[in-house]
Structure 1
């Protein structure tokens, strides 16, 4: 039996990405052109079938007038990267920012404790790979998180001894950096999303560089995730798929994990399914892994042909925790904690995502206020950019430094930001002081990520 990563056509991630992003079967799509008057748009039903395309087209979250207005604006952007060039209506947003969503990976960090304590180098990769896959339960949510304001931050504590800090380090292009650490691991990421708008769907390319260091062994792991696709964003029930390869490489030893995310096929065949192998440095399979990225992952030792070792059993390594029933935004219990002040430090940076007035208004169900606050934040961000250009100044993040390193990704090169350690110093200073300028008590400050403070206030108190 050949390794699973070798069974798929063009399974090598760097060689085959272009084909996997568009591999949805055309038989499960049907144009709504002629039925509803929208040229070239397709409704894709993940449960299969084409005869119900018109019915599916009516099941979206949009009101007819909102849909008409949005499509009139967006049809000019078909084929374009719409990451930061289009102002989107708040009705498609969730009350969370991209920085907070980055922190959702920390929910199952106990897997990294197991990886750090594990003596078997290949089993160590099983735990680490399962940890990265666990985030996809959150990625399947169909609501869009808010784009962070330049200088916005997100802090997380009170979970498995982890200190997490994320910062929006660039506005054009939108880029975020994050650092997380506890006694078992160090996690660093520079993230930039690249998109391609296709009419009723969006391809999402996760340009970025991820580094995970396990402290006991000292090994450094590098992740290249698969792309994602959001379907039916205007017509029909919105749903997300992530077809392609996920590659996790041990940069220290050359061992790696290659997991193939099946594209959703006819009548939902293959949806959510993941399978692949953990390989040693000689590219021989040592463990097979299989499961569903929205439910669980299992593993089993295998021989050099990829066949299960006689007498071994398939064992579960990760299972998604039970989630609230009928949650409006499909949040998990952990996602709700991230949005609360339960995971905030005693004194919070005023640039924290929790304090954003548009996010707070949306969480409270006030779409009108959320929309107006979002517009005001974006207007001030543009005003600051003009001021910066007039002063011929360069924006400099507080907690991350731009390095000279250029990361290579399947979708282009990436400027890499590195955690500078200043947040750790600042947090220690705050924790040991009753009053520190620029730091205020949790939930008692106005959102303030701004570089210049001589502008009229553009936000209300949280």
Structure 2
């Protein structure tokens, strides 16, 4: 048998043959609501299949009928379009967290990158590092939308794994976020931009971004290309998320790579959550197979050149999802609650921090009306700042990240890269040495302030 093709291996191998055959039997149950509820071109996709009535399934979800009707009337003109920043969405579908804040959720299992840095085996390095990137998909399956960050909005995190984390919204049109995390073992950097395609009752999300990890001990640089994501049943039915396709993590220093295939959700849920693939050396020979579920755990096992397990070896678990709260309103993990609190905030928190957003806070307290009005107020202030910049002929300048001359090529388009400029470390060093550094910020009285022109109201 010839070695498996790394471009096709994800659906092959001993551990995925059954799931693949089930997935190929049929895709998830599609149930048209056309003719039932008077909407053309919409389908409800039930990941569990089943034989329940299509109209009954379509009526499920968080939307009230009148809200759903008005939302559909507003949204139908955008079918086929990228709606990343062109649509104002109701606060009903939001979670009390901003996108620059959610970027920090990947750090929950950062110990896997610590292990990768300490590991001498280049293939096991990729086992640890790829499991780190898979671990965040449990958070990605949440069906609530994070708030779009205000231009200049930031998020800071300390008190976790020795990590210093800073993220910033560096562009509004197009929306781009940048993030930097660092501890004694690794440096994590990301420029994040998404491209979307609205399909009526679903939304395809393409991660038009670049993620790099540098392992400090040997200077190894890892580059990630994640799969696209699809949000199903946006308007009708129970909203759910799937990310079928390949995740490729490449060691740019040695040429080794790991290619993992996220199984699509098939008939009656067959294959949903399943991930399998191989770690390849620079000669593209499979060395380690990996298998598991992105919402549960990942395991690995040495393999031969045909991708079969080596005799005398066994699967070993490398990552398992930590215990999560039951029946959590927003499907948060304990770590998500932690980063949404001030427990991970440094002293003298930046006034531009996501946690200080009044709309986020109101939603967290369950006041949807106030959350909606505060969200509208922030968005109007952001538009006013844009008009002021245009009047003055000025450009927005990010504080913690600088635009570079580098253009990254992704499967979904080119991306302008923003690089961490090191000024945050300088700021924190100066803050910690100041005479009032022992005083914690009074978060209850700190006003959210990401603005380029703080005196805009007076003008």
Secondary structure (helix, strand or coil) at the match of 1:368 reads helix
Match of 2:39 in 1: 38
Match of 2:365 in 1: 364
Match of 1:234 in 2: 235
State the alpha-carbon separation in 1 of the partners of residues 91 and 45 from structure 2: 24
CA contact (8 A) 2:10 2:259 kept: no
Cα deviation for residue 27 of structure 1 reads: 6.4
CA contact (8 A) 1:294 1:320 kept: yes
Instruction: Please list every run of 5 or more consecutive structure 1 residues that lacks an aligned counterpart in the other structure.
Output: 12-22, 458-462
State the alpha-carbon separation in 2 of the partners of residues 108 and 209 from structure 1: 20
Q: Describe the superposition over 1:107-130 as per-residue Cα deviations: whole angstroms up to 9, x where unpaired.
A: 001111111111111001100000
State the alpha-carbon separation in 1 of the partners of residues 10 and 160 from structure 2: 41
Match of 1:374 in 2: 375
Match of 1:57 in 2: 58
1:159 and 2:160 aligned: yes
Secondary structure (helix, strand or coil) at the match of 2:372 reads helix
CA contact (8 A) 2:192 2:208 kept: yes
Classify 1:27/1:372 alpha carbon distance in 2 versus 1 (closer, same or farther; 3 Å). Answer: closer
Cα deviation for residue 53 of structure 1 reads: 2.0
1:220 and 2:221 aligned: yes
Secondary structure (helix, strand or coil) at the match of 1:348 reads coil
1:453 and 2:454 aligned: yes
CA contact (8 A) 1:4 1:276 kept: no
CA contact (8 A) 1:247 1:257 kept: yes
Secondary structure (helix, strand or coil) at the match of 1:350 reads coil
The root-mean-square deviation of aligned C-alpha atoms, in Å, is 1.8
1:64-83 matches, within 5 Å, as: 64-83=65-84
Cα deviation for residue 371 of structure 1 reads: 0.1
1:284-363 matches, within 5 Å, as: 284-363=285-364
Cα deviation for residue 93 of structure 1 reads: 0.3
Aligned length: 444
CA contact (8 A) 1:5 1:259 kept: no
Secondary structure (helix, strand or coil) at the match of 2:324 reads coil
269-278 or 2-11, which moves further after superposition?
Answer: 2-11
Match of 1:272 in 2: 273
CA contact (8 A) 1:190 1:210 kept: yes
Match of 1:132 in 2: 133
State the alpha-carbon separation in 2 of the partners of residues 295 and 76 from structure 1: 39
Cα deviation for residue 52 of structure 1 reads: 2.8
Cα deviation for residue 453 of structure 1 reads: 1.2
Q: Describe the superposition over 1:362-419 as per-residue Cα deviations: whole angstroms up to 9, x where unpaired.
A: 0000000000000000000001001101111111100000000000001110000000
State the alpha-carbon separation in 2 of the partners of residues 264 and 190 from structure 1: 29
Q: Which runs of 4+ in 1 moved over 3 A?
A: 1-11, 23-27, 439-444
State the alpha-carbon separation in 1 of the partners of residues 43 and 10 from structure 2: 26
360-369 or 210-219, which moves further after superposition?
Answer: 210-219
Cα deviation for residue 444 of structure 1 reads: 3.4
Match of 1:14 in 2: none
447-456 or 82-91, which moves further after superposition?
Answer: 447-456
1:380-459 matches, within 5 Å, as: 380-435=381-436, 440-456=441-457
Cα deviation for residue 322 of structure 1 reads: 0.7
Match of 2:170 in 1: 169
State the alpha-carbon separation in 2 of the partners of residues 24 and 141 from structure 1: 27
Instruction: Please list every run of 5 or more consecutive structure 2 residues that lacks an aligned counterpart in the other structure.
Output: 13-23
410-419 or 45-54, which moves further after superposition?
Answer: 45-54
State the alpha-carbon separation in 2 of the partners of residues 443 and 290 from structure 1: 46
CA contact (8 A) 1:346 1:442 kept: no
Classify 1:54/1:266 alpha carbon distance in 2 versus 1 (closer, same or farther; 3 Å). Answer: same
Secondary structure (helix, strand or coil) at the match of 1:66 reads helix
State the alpha-carbon separation in 2 of the partners of residues 3 and 315 from structure 1: 22
Classify 1:165/1:9 alpha carbon distance in 2 versus 1 (closer, same or farther; 3 Å). Answer: closer
CA contact (8 A) 2:123 2:280 kept: yes
Secondary structure (helix, strand or coil) at the match of 1:274 reads strand
Q: Describe the superposition over 1:75-131 as per-residue Cα deviations: whole angstroms up to 9, x where unpaired.
A: 000000111000000010000011111100000011111111111110011000000
State the alpha-carbon separation in 2 of the partners of residues 353 and 3 from structure 1: 46
State the alpha-carbon separation in 2 of the partners of residues 406 and 204 from structure 1: 21
Classify 1:25/1:376 alpha carbon distance in 2 versus 1 (closer, same or farther; 3 Å). Answer: farther
Secondary structure (helix, strand or coil) at the match of 2:258 reads strand
Match of 2:113 in 1: 112
Match of 1:149 in 2: 150
Structure-1-length-normalised TM-score: 0.93
Classify 1:121/1:316 alpha carbon distance in 2 versus 1 (closer, same or farther; 3 Å). Answer: same
Cα deviation for residue 26 of structure 1 reads: 5.6
Cα deviation for residue 435 of structure 1 reads: 4.5
